[in-house]
């Protein structure tokens, strides 16, 4: 290579001869801490859903577990992914190279997919709670990633099916954001409402971040469809719903909202009143949930109630620590072998299973109605459960999984 400068060549060769790569961690390091890397959005759009509350929940789990496992102290490192998939992948990599044993949360599908790939590369476990993409247990499935809380399929099959069952809810018009989440939601909803004899007559693939849905809502009204499927997320959903009420669309069509969280309703109660949605957990669903929620609220402060994602972080942490204890090490391969196929229950998961086929963690899901502000019995008591969906119905059947299981 005639372009090599002599100094440069020497430098490169020297670098190659140096011992490269981090020293291998041996399980015999008995007193080094067990580290959980909580990757969340601390100040962006998912900060209320996950964020600080997720840190509180995870640390609560560690404390409740006793602060130690296998005689080693447990540490929780909070990493702010700032909704930047590339940046978070570097930080996840660095955390794992510095001894992290578990990646947790990753609320944001892009971040989750990027970090799951890193986990696979490093042979360490990643439990995704807050992200929606069912690709995590589909085309992007891998041995070292579990998808814990919910996914687009669960939302579709619960909300979609529940609404499509009604006699006058057979034609749907979709307001869909034009990115992976949106296309996934559309596909999952289409499949979910089909057995009830319903279908989408049209779906608008709208650039996410659009503030103005008037053109599409008008088309929806004009199309004569019976149901408006609002399949976007976050700020898009807020804007859509605001304009739905403005154009009086909710008087003419039923409204199915694909994705909504308790914390969204906290922020904008009037916009979402009367919507029917699906959630993986509600803080007031039963005694056990409420007992935990009260403890969380005390730790979190300001009377804030936990979202289902924050509860899932606690649950996942406890379950993983239990597995570590049972297996006697933090080795990801051993833990996967232990968890695969295992059934379990706790305050968050009812009828749960760590599905071996595609690493989807299945459990009950709940269809709820959002109660208007004037009718709630206490602060943050927004939901009324109208139907409980068993895991067999809620999640994509194993037979339909697109996961190419390579483990």
Partner 1 sequence: MQYSAGPTFSEGLLLAQASLTPSFLLEQVFNGLVRGGFYALLALGLSIIFGMLRIVNFAHGAMYMLGAFVAYEGALQFHLPFFAALIVAPIVVAAFGLLIETLLLRRLYNLDPLYNLLFTFALVLVIEDAMRLQFGALGSPYEMPALLSGQTNLGLFAYPTYQLFVIVVSILVCLAVYLVVERSPLGARIRAATENPELTRAFGINTSRLVSGVFAFGVGLAAFAGVLNAPYTNVTPSMGDSIIISTFAIVVIGGLGSLRGSIVTAFALGVIQALGAVFYPPIANTLIFIVMVLVILFKPSGLFGTTERAA
Partner 2 sequence: MTLAVIAGRGGLFVGLALLAIGLALPYLVYPVFAIQLVCFALVAVSFDLLLGFTGLLSFGHAMFFGGAGYVATILIARVGWTSFPAAVAAAVLYALVLSLAVGAVAVRRSGIYFAMVTLAIAQVQFFVAYELADLTGGENGIQIVTRGSLFGFSLENDRVFYYLALLITVLGVLFAIRVVSSPYGAVLAAMRENEQRARSIGYDTNRFKLGAFVMSGTLAGLAGAMFAIGNRLSGLDSVDWHLSGKIVMMTILGGIGTIFGPIVGAGLFESLEYYLSKGPLGDKTNFAMGLIFAAIILIARRGIVGEILHRVFASRRRLIEDEENPDRLIVGPLG
d(CA 289, CA 316): 15
The residue length of the chain stands at 407
- Classify burial at 165, counting beta carbons within 10 Å of its beta carbon; exposed 0-12, middle 13-18, buried 19 or more: middle
Binding mask 85-124 for partner 1 (x = CB under 8 A): ----------------------------------------
Nearest distance in Å: CB 163, partner 1: 17
- From partner 2, partner 1, none, interface partner of 31 (C-beta below 5 to 8 A by class): none
Q: Which is nearer to partner 1, 181 or 354 (CB)?
A: 181
d(CA 357, CA 402): 10
Q: With the C-alpha atoms ordered 122, 126, 130, 136, is the resulting torsion angle positive or negative?
A: positive
CA 276 to chain centre: 19
Nearest distance in Å: CB 167, partner 1: 23
Spatial neighbors of 178 by CB under 8 A, at least 6 apart, are 205, 206, 207, 208
* Per CB under 8 A, 310 contacts partner 1: no
Q: What are phi and psi of 140, to 5 degrees?
A: -105, 25
Q: Which is nearer to partner 1, 158 or 239 (CB)?
A: 239
d(CA 336, CA 388): 29
Nearest distance in Å: CB 7, partner 2: 8
Nearest distance in Å: CB 209, partner 2: 11
Contact pick of 65, 77, 196, 247 for partner 1 (by CB under 8 A): 247
* Per CB under 8 A, 274 contacts partner 1: no
- From partner 1, partner 2, none, interface partner of 80 (C-beta below 5 to 8 A by class): partner 2
- Tell me 147's DSSP state: E
Nearest distance in Å: CB 225, partner 1: 11
Nearest distance in Å: CB 186, partner 1: 5
* Per CB under 8 A, 171 contacts partner 1: no
Q: Which is nearer to partner 2, 142 or 275 (CB)?
A: 142
Pairing of strands 227-230, 254-257: parallel
- How crowded is residue 347: how many other Cβ atoms within 10 Å of its Cβ? 20
Q: Which is nearer to partner 2, 184 or 330 (CB)?
A: 184
* Per CB under 8 A, 12 contacts partner 1: no
Q: Which is nearer to partner 1, 191 or 381 (CB)?
A: 191
Cα(first)–Cα(last) distance of the chain, in Å? 42
d(CA 80, CA 40): 5
The per-residue DSSP string of 381-400 comes to: --EEEEEEE-HHHHSPPGGG
Neighbour-count burial for 139-163, b at 16+ CB within 10 Å, e otherwise? ebbbbbbbbbbbbbbbbbbbbbbbb
Q: Which is nearer to partner 2, 74 or 79 (CB)?
A: 79
* Per CB under 8 A, 44 contacts partner 1: yes
Q: Are 139 and 162 in contact (CB under 8 A)?
A: no
d(CA 259, CA 277): 7
Number of residues that bind partner 1 (CB under 8 A): 52
- From partner 2, partner 1, none, interface partner of 20 (C-beta below 5 to 8 A by class): partner 2
- From partner 1, partner 2, none, interface partner of 171 (C-beta below 5 to 8 A by class): none
d(CA 296, CA 290): 10
Q: Are 79 and 38 in contact (CB under 8 A)?
A: yes
Q: Which is nearer to partner 2, 124 or 363 (CB)?
A: 124
Q: Are 224 and 168 in contact (CB under 8 A)?
A: no
- Which residues, listed in sequence order, are joined to residue 77 by a DSSP beta bridge? 37
Nearest distance in Å: CB 40, partner 1: 14
Give me the residue label for tokens 């004899």. 197
Which residues are near partner 2 by CB under 8 A?
3, 5, 8, 11-12, 15-16, 18, 20-21, 42-43, 79-80, 82, 84-87, 89-91, 93-94, 97, 109-110, 113-114, 117, 121, 133, 135, 140, 178-181, 183, 207-208
- From partner 2, partner 1, none, interface partner of 174 (C-beta below 5 to 8 A by class): partner 1
Between residue 375 and residue 394, which ones bind partner 1 under the rule CB under 8 A?
none
Q: Which is nearer to partner 1, 236 or 353 (CB)?
A: 236
Binding site for partner 1 (CB under 8 A): 43-45, 47-48, 135, 138-139, 174, 176, 178, 180, 183-184, 186-187, 190-191, 200-207, 209-212, 214-216, 218-219, 222-223, 234-235, 238-239, 242-243, 246-248, 263-264, 267-268, 270-271
């Amino acid at each position: 290579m005639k372009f090599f400068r002599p100094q440069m060549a020497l430098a490169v060769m020297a670098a190659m001869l140096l011992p490269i790569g981090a020293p291998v961690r041996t399980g015999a390091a008995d007193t080094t801490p067990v580290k959980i890397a909580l990757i969340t959005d601390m100040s962006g759009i998912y900060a209320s859903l996950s964020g600080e509350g997720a840190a509180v929940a995870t640390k609560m789990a560690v404390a409740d577990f006793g602060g130690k496992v296998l005689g080693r102290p447990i540490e929780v490192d909070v990493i702010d992914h700032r909704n930047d998939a590339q940046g978070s992948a570097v930080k996840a990599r660095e955390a794992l190279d510095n001894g992290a044993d578990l990646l947790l949360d990753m609320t944001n599908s892009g971040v989750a997919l990027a970090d799951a790939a890193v986990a696979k590369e490093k042979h360490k476990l990643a439990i995704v709670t807050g992200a929606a993409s069912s690709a995590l247990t589909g085309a992007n499935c891998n041995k070292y990633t579990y998808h814990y809380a919910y996914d687009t399929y669960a939302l579709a099959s619960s909300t979609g099916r529940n609404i499509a069952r009604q006699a006058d809810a057979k034609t749907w018009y979709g307001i869909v954001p034009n990115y992976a989440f949106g296309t996934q939601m559309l596909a999952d909803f289409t499949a979910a409402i089909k057995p009830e004899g319903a279908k989408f007559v049209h779906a608008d693939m709208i650039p996410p971040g659009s503030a103005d849905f008037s053109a599409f809502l008008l088309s929806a009204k004009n199309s004569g469809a019976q149901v408006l499927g609002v399949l976007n997320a976050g700020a898009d959903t807020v804007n859509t719903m605001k304009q739905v009420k403005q154009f009086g669309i909710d008087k003419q069509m039923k409204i199915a909202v694909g994705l909504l969280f308790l914390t969204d309703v906290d922020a904008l109660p009037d916009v979402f009143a009367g919507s029917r949605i699906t959630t993986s957990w509600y803080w007031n669903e039963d005694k056990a949930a409420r007992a935990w929620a009260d403890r969380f609220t005390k730790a979190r402060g300001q009377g804030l109630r936990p979202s289902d994602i924050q509860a899932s972080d606690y649950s996942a942490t406890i379950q993983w620590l239990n597995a570590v204890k049972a297996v006697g090490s933090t080795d990801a391969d051993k833990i996967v072998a232990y968890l695969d196929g295992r059934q379990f229950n706790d305050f968050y998961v009812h009828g749960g299973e760590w599905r071996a086929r595609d690493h989807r963690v299945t459990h009950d899901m709940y269809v709820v109605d959002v109660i208007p502000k004037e009718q709630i019995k206490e602060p943050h008591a927004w939901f009324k459960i109208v139907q409980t969906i068993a895991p067999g119905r809620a999640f994509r059947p194993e037979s339909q999984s697109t996961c190419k299981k390579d483990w």
